[in-house]
Amino acid sequence: MGAIYILWLRELKRYVRSRVQIVVSLGQPCLYLLALGFGLGPVFRQAGHGSYLQFMAPGVVGMTVLFSSVFSGIAMLWDRQFGFLKETLVAPVSRMQIMVGRTLGGATVAIIQGTLILVICLIAGFRPHSWFAIPLAFLFVAMIAIVFAALGTAIGSVIKDMQGFQLVMNFLVMPIFFLSGALFPLANLPLAMSIITKLDPLAYGVDGLRGVLINTWHFNLAFDVAVLAGIAVLFLSAGAYLFTRIEA
C-alpha cells in the first residue's frame, strides 16, 4: 500500500509544482469554451437547440479530464527518458502496485483539472439544472479520469519516443475528443458516424455529464455508468498487463 500511496503522491506533487503547466493545460479548454461557446452560440440558438454554452460546458469538462488523464499516463515517457522509471521497476514491490499508484495519481490530477474547468464554466455563465446534480457529475468525472488514465498508462508502457506520442495524440486522443459528442449532439448523425461515436468511450462520459448537469440524455444514466465501468476494467487490465511487460 505504501508504494501505491507514495507514487500517487508523486503525481500530485508534480502537478501542484508545475504552475505553468496548470495554466497551459487549462488554456485550451477555456479557448474552446469561449471561442466556440460564444462563437457558435448564435448558430446553435437559431437552429432551435437553446444555449450552446449550456450544451458544450459538460463536453469541455469531459475533454479536460480526457486530455489531463491521458497525458499523465504518457508522462511515463519522461520517466523512462530520465531514468526514474527504472528505480521503480527494480524495487521489491509488484509492478501492479506501481501501475495502480501512477494511474490513480494521474486520475486524481485529471479530476482536479475537471473541477477547475467546471468552476470556470460556472463563471462563464453555465448553470446546471439543479445544484444537487454536482455530486453525480463528479461520479462521471472520476470514471472518465480512471478510464483514460488507465489508457494513458497502457500507451505509456508501449511508446518509447516523441514520435509515438505525436501519433497517439493525432490518431487516438483527438478523435476520441471530436467523436465523443462533446461539441455536437449525437442525434441524427449519418449511420457510419453514429456507429463510430458509439465505440468512443468518452461519448458515454460526456453523455453522463450532460445528462446529470442539464438533463439532456442521448443514452441513459444506468447505461452510461455500466459502459464506463466495463471499459475501466478493460483498460485497467490492459494497462496492468502492458506495464508488467516493460523491460527495464
Partner 1 sequence: MISVSHLVKTFGDFTAVSDISFDVAQGEIFAFLGPNGAGKTTTIKMLTTLLRPSSGHIELDGLDPTVRQKQARQRFGIVFQDPSLDNEQTAWENMDLHGVLYHVPRKVRAQRSEELLKLFELWERKDAYVKTFSGGMKRRLEIARGFLHTPKILFLDEPTLGLDPQSRNQLWTHVKRLNETENTTVFLTTHYMDEADRVAHRIAIMDHGKIVAQGTSAELKEQTKTESLEAAFLSLTGSSLRDEGADSKDRLRQMAQMFQRR
Contacting residues toward partner 1, per CB under 8 A:
2-3, 5-6, 10, 13-14, 17, 79, 82-88, 90-94, 247-248
Choice between 80 and 218, CB closer to partner 1: 80
Rounded-to-integer distance, Cα 28 and Cα 26, Å: 6
Q: How far is the CB of 84 from partner 1 (least distance, A)?
A: 5
Choice between 86 and 129, CB closer to partner 1: 86
Q: How far is the CB of 17 from partner 1 (least distance, A)?
A: 7
Q: How far is the CB of 164 from partner 1 (least distance, A)?
A: 15
Contact predicate 33/120, CB 8 Å: yes
Rounded-to-integer distance, Cα 16 and Cα 39, Å: 33
Closest CA to 67 of 184, 191, 178, 164: 178
Q: Within a 10 A sphere around the Cβ of 91, how many other Cβ atoms? A: 12
Contact predicate 203/189, CB 8 Å: no
Choice between 82 and 132, CB closer to partner 1: 82
Q: How far is the CB of 18 from partner 1 (least distance, A)?
A: 8
Choice between 60 and 112, CB closer to partner 1: 112
Identity at 184, one-letter amino acid code:
F
